[in-house]
Amino acid sequence: MKKIIIFLLYVSLNFTNVKALIKVDITRGNLDPLPIAISPLHVDKNSEKLDIIDTDKLGNEISKIIESNAKSTGLFNPLNKDAFVQKPDIAHLKPRFEDWRLIKAQALVTGKLLIKDNKLKVEFRLWDLTAAKEMLALSFTTTPANWRRVAHIISDKVYERLTGEGGYFDTRIIYVSETGPKDQRVKKLALMDQDGYNIKYLTLGNELVLTPRFNPTNQLVTYMSYFKNMPRVYLLDIETGIQEIVGNFPGMTFAPRFSPDGQKIIMSFAKEGNSDIYSMDLKSRIVEQITKHPSIDTSPTYSPDGKYIAFNSDRSGLQQIYVMRSDGTGVKRITHGKGIYGTPVWSPRGDLIAFTKVRKGRFYIGVMRSDGTGERLLTENFYQEAPSWSPNGRVLIFYRETKADKTGKGFSAKLWSIDITGYNERKVKTETDASDPSWSSLLSK
Amino acid sequence: MKFNLALRNLLIVLFGALVLSACSTAKKGDLTGDVYTGTETIEYLAKGVPDRVFFATNKSSLTTAARDTLRKQATWLRKNKDLTVTVEGHADERGTREYNLALGERRANAAKDYLMTYGISGKRISVISYGKEKPVNPASNPLAWSQNRRSVTVKTN
């Protein structure tokens, strides 16, 4: 895959640091989403034609992606463009605030674009309509092929300005694409933009692949493959397509994850009926055994500072979540509730651990503080597991399977997302059935 | 002693009856506790040598029936000294994927260890876990799950 570089040349245009009146609170479920008008971007008449998309429609397409992103947060209510009262180019210069207020908009996004010398130049502004002030103005240049990313970057900037939190739209999801009947599934590694576009399949489906996870720079993926019927953890460079087995273990390795600095892969190694947690340093290739216990220890995850590891173990009899120092000392059980707990994943903010809980035959995705207190169950279903965090630590993506009838029909696996408020549960668009999602960090930081 | 044994057997029977009556969805007689005791999915390595054994939820301990099957497999392996096998360990779909991979490995090794105690060299037995990835019965009900919690001995030469 070609390396995508976005040149972000932020130029402040008449930027005044006005303390805005509008502010979106994302710390609780938002039942009153902010009405926002997202104007089509004005397309400069001197723009060159493109093969990939009709240049005249590009401004409108970009605004539709921003709308869709804004809507998906549950925090914004993008208004119908039919009601818009000003032409894009005029609004972008300076909106007639009172006219936009008339259609009940509180915020407005305007912009313009020019394609020249095979470069896409974009400029946009965010307006606070209530205070009649400009809140944000940025411009940047990229290659036209990145036009969808332009929309995601604008979405991130608008989200960041209005919520005070980091965005998560210019991101990708790596997951396992599933096709075929339940007892003969074909699984492939797949990569897509956060909104389901630009899908790329990274394996052909000849062997079973599971649990892909990004490294912090989103260039490498670690996953498990049954290549040659040897279940092992692999490392894949998604730009070069080069892959290799991680370590030289005489048995199954599984449940891999990168350390926060990207230097190590942590995983389980199963030997003679016992699974323990190991790490391997990618440069020195030095392997370290971290847990040593005759129980199943798996699904390890580092804290964002790399000092701790959470994992699940059945050393108490049933699966529970434990935290230890990253050298394996100081193991402490943190879940004590009724039911079994698995797949801990540390939030990128470090404050919370997301998990799967099974109780009385029902599956829950939940979050708790890293000491196990403050458990909150966000969603309940027949089967769902494997949460992964959005880079801002506000949204979880996971997969959900439906019940099959006696012949195996009715089975499906889909990706879903939910805010950690417990609100805004959504199915994530995928071309095929899907499982084991892993969210990238922001592509442009 | 005899009395104790008789009493224990009676209790086991009573307990089994209680569990059975609680499982209305599964075919009666095919489950003891939640361990599959039917014959529906079983294939035979040789005449009278079933290829698989079944496990309770989240467990890898061998039931009396499982040990009986594995002893038959050991006898068959002793008679056919050139054969090598792979024991495939599987889990049902009601656990997290990664834990199930480990559980499948533990089940396959439980079967392998038992074959070894009956004199079969560990060199002739490899193990692989498929976790919940290869259900033999794709249905989502207790009977299917009990059939999927299994280790299967497969000839590899």
Q: What is the pLDDT of residues A90-140, one digit of tens each?
A: 999 999 999 999 999 999 999 999 999 999 999 999 999 999 999 999 999
Q: How many CB pairs under 8 A join A and B?
A: 105
Q: What radius of gyration do chain A's Cα atoms show?
A: 23
Rounded to a whole number of angstroms, the distance between the first and last alpha carbons of chain A is 20
Range of weakest confidence among A45-49, B16-20, B87-91: B16-20
Q: What is the pLDDT of residues A150-163, one digit of tens each?
A: 999 999 999 999 99
- Any A CB within 8 A of B135 CB: yes
- Any A CB within 8 A of B14 CB: no
Shortest CA gap B24–chain A (Å): 15
H helical segments located in B2-96 = 2-22, 64-79
The total number of structural domains in chain B stands at: 1
pLDDT band at residue B35 using 50, 70 and 90 as cut-offs: very high
pLDDT band at residue B29 using 50, 70 and 90 as cut-offs: low
pLDDT of residue A24: 74
A358:B95 CB<8 A = yes
- Any B CB within 8 A of A231 CB: yes
Which one of A274, A386, A404 has the shortest CB-CB distance to B97? A386
Q: Which of A356, A308, A371 is nearest to A300 (CA)?
A: A308
B138:A404 CB<8 A = yes
Output b/e per residue, A244-277; b: 16+ Cβ within 10 A: eebbebebbbbbbbbbbeebbbbbbbbeebbbbb
Shortest CA gap B122–chain A (Å): 11
Residue B8 lies in domain = 2-155
- Any B CB within 8 A of A408 CB: yes
Distance of CA B37 to the CA centre of its chain: 9
Q: What is the pLDDT of residues A265-301, one digit of tens each?
A: 999 999 999 999 999 999 999 999 999 999 999 999 9
Residue pair A196/A428 in contact by the 8 Å Cβ criterion: yes
Structure tokens at B102: 């480990």
B133:A268 CB<8 A = no
| Domain assignments of chain A as residue spans, ordered by start | 34-163, 172-439
Shortest CA gap B95–chain A (Å): 8
pLDDT band at residue B18 using 50, 70 and 90 as cut-offs: very low
Secondary structure (DSSP) of A235-254:
EEETTT--EEESS--SS-EE
The class (CATH top level) of A172-439 is mainly beta
pLDDT of residue A445: 66
CATH 3.40.50.10070 fits domain A34-163: yes
Q: Is a pLDDT exceeding 60 seen at residue B14?
A: no
Q: What is the pLDDT of residues A198-238, one digit of tens each?
A: 999 999 999 999 999 999 999 999 999 999 999 999 999 99
- Any A CB within 8 A of B43 CB: no
Shortest CA gap A351–chain B (Å): 24
- Any A CB within 8 A of B25 CB: no
- Any B CB within 8 A of A330 CB: no
Question: Chain A partners of B95 at a C-beta cutoff of 8 Å?
Answer: 319, 342, 358
Residues 6+ positions from A21 with CB-CB distance below 8 Å: A128, A130, A131
Q: Is a pLDDT exceeding 90 seen at residue A19?
A: no
Output b/e per residue, A413-437; b: 16+ Cβ within 10 A: bbbbbbbbbbebbbebebebbbbbb
pLDDT of residue A147: 96
pLDDT band at residue B20 using 50, 70 and 90 as cut-offs: very low
Q: What is the pTM of this model?
A: 0.91
**Quick count: other Cβ atoms within 10 Å of Cβ B72?**
17
Interface test with B, best of A210, A298, A400 (most B CBs within 10 A): A298
CA–CA gap between residue A179 and residue B136 (Å, rounded): 17
Q: Is a pLDDT exceeding 80 seen at residue A76?
A: yes
Residue A424: φ, ψ to 5°: 65, 45
Q: Nearest residue on chain B to A271, judged by CA atoms?
A: B105
- Any A CB within 8 A of B151 CB: no
Q: What is the pLDDT of residues A366-420, one digit of tens each?
A: 999 999 999 999 999 999 999 999 999 999 999 999 999 999 999 999 999 999 9
Q: Is a pLDDT exceeding 70 seen at residue A13?
A: no
* Strand pairing class (A426-428; A413-419): antiparallel
CA–CA gap between residue B113 and residue A272 (Å, rounded): 9
Structure tokens at B96: 């997290």
Q: Is a pLDDT exceeding 70 seen at residue B26?
A: no
B102:A268 CB<8 A = yes
Q: Is a pLDDT exceeding 50 seen at residue A433?
A: yes
Complex ipTM > 0.90:
yes
Burial of A228 per CB tally in 10 Å (0-12, 13-18, 19+) = exposed
Structure tokens at B13: 């029977």
User: Which residues 274-293 of chain A have a CB within 8 Å of chain B?
Assistant: 274-275
Mapped onto helix, strand or coil, the DSSP state of residue A40 is: coil
Mapped onto helix, strand or coil, the DSSP state of residue A297 is: strand
Looking at every residue in chain A, the average pLDDT score rounds to: 93
Which one of B94, B103, B138 has the shortest CB-CB distance to A181? B138
- Any B CB within 8 A of A273 CB: yes
Q: Which of B92, B108, B113 is nearest to B53 (CA)?
A: B108
**Quick count: other Cβ atoms within 10 Å of Cβ A407?**
12
Q: Which helix (H) or strand (E) holds A225?
A: strand A220-225
- Any A CB within 8 A of B37 CB: no
B105:A273 CB<8 A = yes
CA–CA gap between residue A264 and residue A216 (Å, rounded): 11
pLDDT of residue A25: 74
Residue pair A314/B118 in contact by the 8 Å Cβ criterion: no
Residue B75 sits in a domain of what CATH number?
A: 3.30.1330.60
Residue pair A134/A126 in contact by the 8 Å Cβ criterion: yes
pLDDT of residue A23: 73
Which one of B96, B97, B139 has the shortest CB-CB distance to A406? B139
Q: Nearest residue on chain A to B126, judged by CA atoms?
A: A251
Shortest CA gap B125–chain A (Å): 12
